[in-house]
Amino acid sequence: MVGLVILAYVAVAAFELYLWAERPWKKVVVYLAFFAAAGTLAALLTLNKYLKVPEPLGALQRWIAKLWQGGGSK
């Protein structure tokens, strides 16, 4: 299944790149990087449906929630 998902993303990327009139290398690199990220996410989710979402501001979120529970008195 993972192979199929990756194949689908590769096929779409290849087809769209083929349709481009010009292929400046900078654009192509960025385009492929974004596609790789999207394909990787799809593959990881196929392997693990409950993949954890990173929370870079999780500590701040917990702090606000703590303040809120105290009704702003803390």
Partner 1 sequence: MDRQAVAGRWQQVREVVPDNQGLVLVLLFVVGNTLVFALGALAGPDLWLAFLVATAIALPMVLLVARIRSLMGGRDLAAGLEYLFGRWPSRAVALGYGVLTWRLSCYVMSDVTNFVQAVALPTTPQFVVASVLALLMLWAAKEGVEVIARFSVVMAKVVLLVLAVTFLLMLSEVDIGEFLPVMYDGPKPVIMGALQLLDFPFLEVIVLFWIFDCFQSKNSPYKVFLPGFLIAAFVLMIVACTSMAVVGARRYGFYYFPVWTAVARINVSTFLTRLEAIIGVTFAIGSFVKMAVCLLAASRCFAYALGFKDYRFLVTPLALGAIPGSQWFLSNVLEMERSATRTHRAGELALQVVLPIVLWLVAELRSRKSKKHVKKGEASGS
Count of chain residues binding partner 1 (CB under 8 A): 33
User: Is position 37 an interface residue for partner 1 (rule: CB under 8 A)?
Assistant: yes
Closest separation in Å from C-beta 2 to partner 1: 12
Is-contact 62 70, C-beta < 8 A? no
User: Is position 4 an interface residue for partner 1 (rule: CB under 8 A)?
Assistant: no
Binding string, residues 45-74; x marks residues near partner 1 by CB under 8 A: x---xxx-x-xxxx-xx-xx---x------
